[in-house]
């Protein structure tokens, strides 16, 4: 199986690293291409090869990630004109470009839309995916897509109409988590703790809290009230 990645920016690089280092997938070769080739030349080597252009990449690959910026999509569509996409599996990370438009512009059938978040960098992302109607019933190909995406993290199938909301929640969510972590670490510093100790306390607190919610399945408010009671109790009875 050959995998292609068109557009090797932040998301494209994450996908490339996960594909290149995966031991679960039988990836024969990974072809990559980007608007600024000088920025990706150092990524070639081993099973990773630079494509001459997007058309060559699309002709050679079985699965193609479309990771260009939405504003660059018309240029990419023009570059891929004339390439037979009927049997290609296309996986798009382009925000705002719907499956129907990808099918129309590229004469493709097997299309999926995804929006991985930053923890995909270590294989712990959440990956919302929407499938084209043809891909939904093509069981073997659908399972292949799910297997590929599982290298990025937990895959959740959604209706495409929810993609914008899911992108806002899980796609942007890590930024809010990092802001919270930073604020809590700063609070620890103001209380006289070292940076390393404050960082460890905060990260482990968040990890444990998330795992508690995941395992117990309680509403978060229940534990919030419990934690608040514990804090107030400590103030009353030091």
pLDDT value, residue 27? 79
Report the chain's mean pLDDT, rounded to a whole number. Answer: 91
Closest CA to 53 of 94, 21, 83: 83
Could you tell me the residue ranges of all domains in the chain?
A: 2-162, 173-236
List pLDDT tens digits, range 219-229.
Answer: 888 777 766 55
Q: Choose which CATH entry (3.40.50.720, 3.30.1330.10, 3.40.640.10, 3.20.20.210) describes domain 2-162.
A: 3.40.50.720
| 135 pLDDT more than 90 | no
Q: Choose which CATH entry (1.10.3730.10, 3.30.980.20, 1.10.300.10, 1.10.3720.10) describes domain 173-236.
A: 1.10.3730.10
Q: First and final CA of the chain: distance in angstroms?
A: 63
pLDDT above 90 as % of the chain:
77
The secondary structure of residue 138, as a DSSP letter, is -
| Mean pLDDT of the 10-32 span | 88
Closest CA to 4 of 35, 32, 28, 24: 32
pLDDT value, residue 220? 83
Q: Name the token pair of 98.
A: 């719907």
List pLDDT tens digits, range 176-209.
Answer: 999 999 999 999 999 999 999 999 999 999 999 9
| Domains 2-162 and 173-236 are alike in CATH topology | no
pLDDT value, residue 232? 53
pLDDT-based confidence at 46, cuts 50/70/90?
confident
């Amino acid at each position: 199986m050959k995998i292609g990645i068109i557009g090797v920016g932040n998301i494209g690089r994450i996908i490339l690293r996960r594909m290149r280092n995966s031991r679960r997938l039988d990836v024969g070769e990974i072809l990559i291409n980007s608007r600024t080739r000088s920025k990706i030349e150092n990524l070639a080597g081993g099973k990773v090869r630079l494509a001459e252009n997007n058309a060559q990449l699309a002709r050679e690959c079985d699965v193609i990630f479309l990771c260009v910026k939405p504003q660059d999509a018309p240029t990419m569509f023009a570059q891929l004109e004339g390439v037979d996409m009927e049997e290609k599996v296309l996986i798009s990370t382009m925000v705002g470009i719907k499956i129907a438009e990808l099918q129309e512009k590229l004469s493709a059938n097997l299309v999926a839309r995804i929006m991985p978040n930053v923890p995909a960098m270590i294989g712990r992302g959440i990956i919302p995916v929407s499938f084209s109607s043809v891909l939904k019933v093509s069981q073997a190909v659908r399972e292949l897509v799910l297997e590929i995406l599982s290298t990025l993290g937990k895959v959740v199938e959604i209706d495409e109409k929810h993609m914008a909301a899911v992108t806002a929640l899980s796609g942007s969510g890590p930024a809010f988590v990092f802001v919270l972590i930073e604020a809590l670490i700063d609070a620890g510093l103001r209380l006289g703790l070292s940076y390393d100790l404050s960082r460890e306390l905060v990260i482990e607190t968040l990890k444990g809290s998330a795992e508690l919610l995941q395992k117990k399945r309680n509403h978060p408010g229940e534990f919030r009230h419990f934690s608040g009671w514990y804090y107030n109790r400590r103030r009353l009875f030091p």
